[in-house]
Amino acid sequence: MQNPFWHPKSTLNCKGRLIQLEPAAVMGILNVTPDSFYADSRLTSVQQVIDRAGVMIDEGADILDIGGYSSRPGAEEISVHEELDRVLHMVSSLHQSFPEIPISVDTFRSQVAMEAIQQGASMVNDISGGQLDPGMWQVVSSLQVPYVLMHMRGTPRTMQSMTDYQDVAVEILDWLIDKVGQLRQTGIHDILVDPGFGFGKTAQQNFQLLHQLHTLSILGLPVMVGISRKSMIWKTLGTDPTDALQGTTALHLIALQQGAKILRVHDVKPARQTIQLWDAYQKSNP
């Protein structure tokens, strides 16, 4: 069975390195923060980052996403200086160790994005969609790297108090359409969209959004999904993030069925296997 959703863009160009988005790509999460919601993902040294990245690449990661600012609900703010201190050396070390793997920098700050790209990153993953730093889009435009446009209300500290939607999927689609138009006017054309699961949404709204994920195909842009080990899974199952891998895998399959083209994950191998099985299923009945 062929995927019924239209995705005209089948590759991503990260400074000359092409990432195939058919059937889907895997982005491995590298958190250099002391307070990320999933404790096992926290990395504090260059060697830990290099070791974890090596495992992820061996398991099939297409992109490595590194961030130094925790975006868990209620997360405390840190200074630009502290974020730079956490991220830049890690990006440089990753690029030197694995020059063939595109590195995404997970930040909403234009200075962090600019300096990380200078150190070897080749993609910007902005959880705020440009709302928390008015200089971000101009920096991305000047750097000419792919940009992940994510929907979020407020800040990580305030977002879970801002969950009042009439129709969560429709409102997010309208917001993305507006922002994509603005991005293109700014000169940014290599765009991915992320509906922002867990960022200013209740668990019920997250599931509604997953059910309607296919509506984002109207944008004609690759859709990235970040649901790995999130509370919509472990709270529903009555467990915790350490026991949420099977639930994550189940929802990853639904996301792929709904047209997702990048899975942003803590656990690369299960995500890669899910994509392989989904691809085999599609090809079995062309």
Query: Which residue matches tokens 């990006």?
Result: 91
Please pick, among 86, 109, 229, 230, the residue that the annotation labels catalytic: 230
The whole-angstrom separation of Cα 281 and Cα 275 is 10
| Residues 256, 263: Cα–Cα separation, whole Å | 9
d(CA 252, CA 255): 5
Torsion sign (Cα): 147, 149, 155, 156: negative
Strand partners, 192: 148
42 classed as catalytic: no
Say whether 15 is catalytic.
no
Q: How far apart are CA 235 and CA 273, in angstroms?
A: 25
Secondary structure (DSSP) of 53-103: HHHHHHHT-SEEEEESS--STTPPP--HHHHHHHHHHHHHHHHHH-TTS-E
Pairing between β-strand 11-14 and β-strand 17-20 as defined by DSSP bridges = antiparallel
End-to-end CA distance of the chain: 5
Catalytic residue among 86, 109, 261, 264: 264
Sheet holding 123-126, edge to edge: 191-194, 147-150, 123-126, 103-106, 63-67, 25-31, 262-265, 224-225
The residues annotated as belonging to the active site are: 230, 264
